[in-house]
A and B are shown apart, each in its own frame.
Chain A
Amino acid sequence: MLRREATANYSIVRAMRGSRFWRWRQPSAGVAFTNHSIVALNIANEARSGETELPGGLIESSAVTPNIQSVGELAQIVERALADVGVARERLALVLPDLATTTVVLPARERSRRPARELRRELAAGLPYPVGEARCDFWRGQHDEILGVAVRTAVVQQYERIVEAVDCQLGWVDSASLCHIPSQVSRRVRAERLEVHAQLYADHYCLTVVRGGELIDTRIKLRSAGDFERVAREVLRAPVLHDSETIDSLHLSGKDAAAVAELLRDAGVGEVRVDCDGERQHLVSSIERLLERGTP
C-alpha cells in the first residue's frame, strides 16, 4: 500500500486533481526501470503499484550502450504491468535507471552565473561519449549550485520506444535517484550542517551530500547484494571528503536501508533516518516525485 505522506501535499494540487481538466492534462501513472524489475504506479483513483521481475539480461543499465536487449519483449512486460495497475493510454512518468545517466555537480560561482554553453562544456568533459549524442539538462539549486545530468540519446530513446509501444504518451523523464535531489536540498537548515542522503538499490547506491542547504556532491556507486559494510564505509567517508568532522543528518531509503542504518548508528552517526525500507517503495516514491511535477 502506498504511504500516505508520499503523495503531494499541496492543497491546490489536491483540489485540482479532482477536476476533469487536471486529469486530462496531468499524468497520473508512471513506470520505473531497474536491471531486474519494473515498478508501475497508478494514482488516478486509488494508488496502486506493482512490481514485475524481469528475465536476466533484458535490461543492462549503462550510460554508453543501449540498455534494453529486446524492446518488443520488454514492451509486452510493461503493458501487462500497467494493465495490472489499471493504466491504459495515459501519459506516463518515466523513471530511468541511475546507471544510464552521467551526473556532475558544479559549485556556485561567487560573481556570475555560468552561461548554458559553459555548463554544457563542463558536463561534456566527463562524458564517455560525444556531447552531441547526449541529452543534457541542468538544475540550479537555491545557492546557485548546478546539478548537470546527461543521458545518451540512443539509450533514452529505447525507453521512450517502450512508452510508445504500450500506446502511452511520455510525461516527465528523470532518473530514480536524481528526481529526489531537489526536495533533499530545498529544506531550510543552518549553514555548515552536513546532510547525507543515501538511496540504495540492489546493484548500486546514490550518495548525495548537502551542506547548509547547498548541494555539494552526488555520486552513484555499484554495490553487490547484501554488502552493507561497503555502503556504510562510503557514507562515513563523506565528511572527510568535504572538510567536515561529522555527519549531522543521514537519510536512508531503498533496499536494505534499515540494515545500513543500524550499522551507521553503531558507527556513531547521530541522526539517522530511514525514509523507506525497500527498493520497490523507493521507486514508487520516485515515480510520485515525477507525477508531482506534472507535464514537462
Chain B
Amino acid sequence: MRPGIYLGPPVGRARRLVWLLVALASLGTSFHVSLYIRERGELDAVRARVERQDVRGRASSQETGDALGDEARDVLARLRAASASGVASTMSSAQILHLLSRALPDQVALVGVSFEPSSTPPSLLLEAVARREGDVTALQKAVADSPRVAATKLLGERTSADGTLSVRLQVELAMERSP
C-alpha cells in the first residue's frame, strides 16, 4: 500500500531513464556474452578437429611407417637448425614457416628445406613435388611475391615415373636494412 498522497512534481521520468540505461547495459552485456560463448564454441570445435586430425595422423604414421611423418620431422629439424645457424638474424623460423605456409599451393607438397647460411645473401633451398608444371610456376611466383624474398631460381626439375614433378627452388632472402 502506498504511504499516502503525493502532490509533488512527477518523479517517474528520472526513474524511467535509469531503468532504460540499466536495460540497455544489460542488453549490451548479454550480447557480448553470447558473442563470447559462440566464439568460444567455435574455437573449441577447431581445437577438437585439430586434435582429431593429429591423433589420426599419428595412428596412420605408426601403422604405415609413413615417410611423410619423417619428412615433416626433418623439415622441423632443419628449421630449428636454421635458427641456430645465423639465418635467424635475417629471418626467424616463424617467418620462414609463415612464408612457406602462404606460398605453397594446394597441389604442391614440400619434401625438404635446406639453408645456405654462408652464401651472400643467405638463401633457402626448397624441394617440392608437384603434379603439374603450372603448380611449380605458382609456387615460384608466390615465393617471389614475398617482401622477404629477393630472388628465386629454379635449380632443377625432374619428372618421376608416376608423372609428378620434383623441383628444387633456390630462394634468396632479402637482407634486412638497418634503420
Interface residues of A (CB under 8 A from B): 94, 96, 101, 135, 137-140, 142, 147, 149, 151, 156, 160, 170-175, 178-179, 181-182, 289, 292-293, 296
> Please, which residues of chain A bring their CB within 8 A of the CB of B6?
137, 172-174, 296
Lowest 9 A-B CB distances belong to which pairs?
A173-B8, A293-B3, A173-B7, A182-B4, A149-B5, A137-B5, A151-B7, A296-B6, A174-B5
B2 to A, closest residue via Cβ: A139
Q: List 20 A-B contacts (CB under 8 A).
A: A101-B7, A135-B7, A137-B6, A142-B1, A147-B5, A156-B7, A156-B8, A160-B8, A160-B9, A174-B6, A175-B5, A175-B7, A178-B5, A179-B4, A179-B5, A181-B4, A182-B4, A293-B4, A296-B6, A296-B11
> Please, which residues of chain B bring their CB within 8 A of the CB of A149?
5, 7
Interface residues of B (CB under 8 A from A): 1-9, 11
Q: Using known A-B contacts A160-B9, A296-B11, determine if residue A174 contacts B4 with beta carbons closer than 8 Å.
A: yes
| Whole-angstrom CA separation of A39 from B167 in the bound complex | 105
> Please, which residues of chain A bring their CB within 8 A of the CB of B4?
139, 172, 174, 178-179, 181-182, 289, 293
Interface of B, secondary structure class, is: loop
> Please, which residues of chain B bring their CB within 8 A of the CB of A296?
6, 8, 11
> Please, which residues of chain B bring their CB within 8 A of the CB of A156?
7-8
What is the distance, in angstroms, from A269's C-beta to the closest C-beta of chain B? 28
CB <8 Å contact, B9 and A140: no
What is the distance, in angstroms, from B108's C-beta to the closest C-beta of chain A? 73
B4 to A, closest residue via Cβ: A182
> Please, which residues of chain A bring their CB within 8 A of the CB of B1?
140, 142, 182
| Whole-angstrom CA separation of A101 from B2 in the bound complex | 19
